[in-house]
């Protein structure tokens, strides 16, 4: 199955994607994770992307389309994929349709007011990449799952978050109409307990 997760930053796409991918045995392709690792390793893509990612803007379409197209040609995508964070513009969506069109697009919806506190309180594990909210942590430095070190993403600062939400509404939200027009859009309420959201997604996928 070829899937795309759509939705604003902080909607829980990454958390849900990990669960769904395990269940369906398809690779979880997070363009945000790929870019952060490219930046950390100083690759040519990383150098091109750094300033955009740190300011909360979008990395140019050509950079993303090349990166994703290469990734989708890997053998592990033979049975499908789950794209998390791509496409983020209509141009990227049109390119994806040419490369390997998604069967279904899941829009995980959460209101802006909730997103701000989710993102400012988000902590990420350096070892296992799981994310947590500070309000649910006894120790905000140590991962409760694996004992790894927790950190706060540089772009999870209030100013950058505001920018990311604006970019989402102007550039990415139009994809809701784009996929709705193609008949592949399914909407899920992301403002519920994580397990309930997972079940709603599985139901939308007919699993």
* Token pair of 121 as six digits: 């309180």
Q: Which does 127 bind (CB under 5 to 8 A by kind): ligand ADP, Zn ion, none?
A: Zn ion
Contact with Zn ion (CB under 5 A): which of 148, 157, 191, 199? 148
Q: Which does 164 bind (CB under 5 to 8 A by kind): Zn ion, ligand ADP, none?
A: ligand ADP
| Choice between 127 and 203, CB closer to ligand ADP | 127
Q: Among positive and negative, which fits the CA dihedral 53, 48, 102, 33?
A: negative
Distance CA 1, CA 62 (A): 25
CB 46 within 8 A of CB 35: yes
**With respect to ligand ADP, which residue has the nearer C-beta, 107 or 155?**
155
Nearer to ligand ADP, 52 or 152 (CB): 52
Give residues in contact with ligand ADP (CB under 6 A).
9-10, 31-32, 35, 52-53, 56-59, 64, 85-88, 92, 155, 164
Residue 146 touches which of ligand ADP, Zn ion, none (Cβ within 5-8 Å per kind): Zn ion
What are the tokens at 30?
Answer: 């997070």
What positions carry a catalytic annotation? Answer: 13, 88, 122, 153, 164
Q: How far is CA 29 from CA 65, 78, 87, 122, 183, in A?
A: 13, 14, 11, 20, 23
């Amino acid at each position: 199955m070829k899937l795309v997760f759509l939705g604003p930053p902080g909607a829980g796409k990454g958390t849900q994607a990990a669960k769904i991918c395990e269940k369906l045995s398809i690779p979880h392709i997070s363009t945000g994770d790929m870019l952060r690792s490219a930046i950390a390793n100083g690759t040519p893509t990383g150098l091109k992307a750094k300033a955009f990612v740190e300011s909360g803007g979008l990395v140019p379409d050509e950079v993303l389309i090349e990166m994703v197209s290469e990734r989708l040609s890997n053998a592990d995508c033979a049975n499908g994929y789950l794209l998390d964070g791509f496409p983020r513009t209509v141009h990227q969506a049109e390119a994806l349709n040419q490369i390997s069109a998604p069967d279904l697009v899941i829009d995980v919806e959460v209101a802006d007011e909730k997103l701000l506190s989710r993102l400012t309180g988000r902590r990420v594990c350096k070892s296992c990449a799981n994310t947590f909210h500070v309000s649910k942590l006894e120790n905000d430095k140590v991962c409760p799952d694996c004992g790894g070190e927790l950190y706060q993403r540089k772009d999870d600062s209030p100013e950058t978050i505001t920018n990311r939400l604006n970019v989402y509404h102007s550039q990415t939200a139009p994809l809701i109409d784009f996929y709705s027009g193609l008949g592949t859009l399914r909407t899920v309420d992301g403002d519920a307990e994580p397990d309930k959201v997972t079940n709603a997604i599985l139901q939308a996928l007919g699993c």
